[in-house]
Every structure is written in structure tokens, then in C-alpha cells.
A and B are shown apart, each in its own frame.
Chain A
């Protein structure tokens, strides 16, 4: 079974621009979570989508948004990019249900650099 895929793997943007990152979960997984990883802040939860609905949200400004499609694929968007948005953005998918709690399968991430 194919793993979680994220595109693109690397991205360079300029301050003020916007960016869209894509995540395709493992087939059959309906939950997709997004994380931001930086050396200073570590892994921080952005949001989680389940069946096209945002189920959880972290403490990030409204410039960070996401959505999930009917095939469970998810996108996250960051508008008006700031230098501090430079990070590795990780997507994780999971099967919800008994015995599967917390078992998230991560993609390789998208490395975003803002200049």
C-alpha cells in the first residue's frame, strides 16, 4: 500500500506570496493532520481534517488554512508568507477507530523556504 505523499517536496517563495501544499493520505485513511516543524518551535499541530471537516485546530494565525476533498486528499494554504513560515510541513494520515488511536502515518514533508 502506498504511503502518504506530499507535493511539492521543496518550495522557495518570497515574503508576501501565498503557497499551497498538497497531501495524499494512505488509501482508506479519512483523517489528515498537518504539522509545522522548525528547529526553534519543534513540531506544532496546525489542523486536522476528517471527512472534509476540520475537526481540530492548533494555535496558528488565520493565514494558515486547509481543506480536505471527498477523496481524503488535503491541501493547506499559507497566505501573505513571512520569513518565520520557513519550515518543514508534515502531513499525517490515520485510520480512526478502536485500537488505532494516535497511529499517524507521516509523509516526507514539504520544505518551504521563504526569502
Chain B
């Protein structure tokens, strides 16, 4: 069965520092992979997606993620954190049947 694991339920970084949120997937065939962001009291918003084209995917708000098949990973990064990046981030996997499976989420806190 497909699944995703997000390492670290809480991550804190200083404003201006690198953001790195980890996601590993479990699938025998490379799936489609996604990162979503959820701000307080809101629904989820798609940040970026990997669909077997370029392995380095650029998304909105300066985020990007790199698909590494050998490591079964799809980590999310941003070179310089901004206060507005504080939110919960979800990695998700989709394979075949259009049913998204989400990770448990990582709450990102930005330290001024």
C-alpha cells in the first residue's frame, strides 16, 4: 500500500534560514507526489507536485522539492524562511486511482 512518512511533526527555523521538511514515500513504482500547505483555519493549498517530469520541482512562495528515487524521498526546501511561512505542511502520494494519501503533517514555526 502506498504511504508517506513525514519526519518531524514540528520544525522550527529562524527567519532567513533554510527550511527543510522531510518526506519519504513507500511505493514500488514512483508515484505522483505533492506538497500542500495549511494555514490556520483554512483548507489545504497545493504548493507543488511531481509527476515524473523534472526531478526538481518549483512551487509557489519560493518552495521547491527534489524527487530522489534512490532515497524514495521528496523533501521540501526554501532557501530563506519568512514569517508568513509558518503553517502546517503535508506531503501526499497518489498512485493510479486518484486517491490522495497524506502524511501526518509538519508544523513549521518561524523564529523572529
Q: How large is the interface on A (under 10, 10 to 19, 20 to 34, 35 or more residues)?
A: 20 to 34
Is A48 in contact with B46, judged by CB distance below 8 angstroms? no
Is A102 in contact with B41, judged by CB distance below 8 angstroms? no
B contacts with A, residue count (CB < 8 A): 23
Residues of A within 8 A of B23 (CB): none
Is B41 in contact with A108, judged by CB distance below 8 angstroms? yes
Number of A-B contacts (CB under 8 A): 55
Kindly state the separation between the CA atoms of A35 and B49 in the bound complex, as whole angstroms: 20
Task: Select the stretch in B64-72, B75-83, B99-107 that faces chain A.
Answer: B99-107
8 Å CB contacts to A: which residues of B1-54?
32, 34, 36, 41-46, 49, 51
- Partner among A31, A55, A102, A106 whose Cβ is within 8 Å of the Cβ of B44: A106
A57 to chain B, nearest CB (A): 9
A11 to chain B, nearest CB (A): 15
Kindly state the separation between the CA atoms of A105 and B36 in the bound complex, as whole angstroms: 10
Residues of B within 8 A of A31 (CB): 98
Is A56 in contact with B46, judged by CB distance below 8 angstroms? no
Kindly state the separation between the CA atoms of A69 and B89 in the bound complex, as whole angstroms: 32
B80 to chain A, nearest CB (A): 27
Is A103 in contact with B49, judged by CB distance below 8 angstroms? yes
Residues of B within 8 A of A108 (CB): 41-43
Q: A90-B43, A90-B44, A106-B45 are in contact. Are A101 and B98 (CB under 8 A)?
A: yes
